[in-house]
Amino acid sequence: MHRYTNIDEKDLLQLLQKGDETAFTQVFYQFQPALVFFANRLLSGQACIDAEEIVQDTFLKLFERKGTLVTLQNVKAFLYIVTKNACLDRIAKEQTRLRRFEKFITSFEESEDTILSEIVYAEALREVSMAIELLPEKCKVIMKQFFEEGKDAKEIAQGLNITVSTVNNQKSRAISLLKQRLSGAGIALLLLSI
């Protein structure tokens, strides 16, 4: 690479404005290390590759705007301002990404809890239904109406043409038999349902 030696800032800037590759390279090597250091400090904790990427993009913007800058101080200020803004944008995007990720994880954990609860409920329901099927016939008919149809003792008594006390006696007998067959979740579900 050829470098301009003994060239003043004004001439370097004029060459840069004309798109001279050697002048651009010279400006790049003059400011790039300090800009990468600056970007790393702003990004604090982000990958070093992010800082280098940001600085490369900054120099591309400089090349696009090379004709609008009138002094080397303008070039320097432009480089630092563009680098700073790009770093702040990168930080904001990362914070947004982290918030979305946290929201996803939280909703996933909540949905996992809901799914697990539904599985436990479905299994308890299946356990109670299977246990009711094993009851003596009168107890089974009455418990199905309590548990599956949500009827009360009076409705069951009228439907079966028996007394309410008979319904309650059969229900008590059925609960006693079911307590021997059901797990804690099954008993809890049964008692909540009837």
Parse the chain into domains and list their residue ranges: 9-99, 134-193
Kind and range of the H or E run holding 64: helix 48-64
pLDDT(181) > 70: yes
How confident is the prediction for the chain on average, in pLDDT? 83
pLDDT(2) > 80: no
CATH number assigned to the domain covering 9-99? 1.10.1740.10
pLDDT at position 8 is 75
pLDDT(85) > 70: yes
The distance of Cα 87 from the centroid of its chain, to the nearest Å, equals: 24
Kind and range of the H or E run holding 49: helix 48-64
Q: Is 194 helix (H, G, I), strand (E, B) or coil?
A: coil
pLDDT(4) > 70: no
CATH number assigned to the domain covering 134-193? 1.10.10
Confidence of residue 78 (pLDDT cuts 50, 70, 90): very high
120-127 LR contacts (CB < 8 Å, sep 24+): 120/185, 121/189, 123/185, 124/183, 124/185, 124/186, 124/188, 124/189, 125/189, 127/182, 127/183, 127/185, 127/186
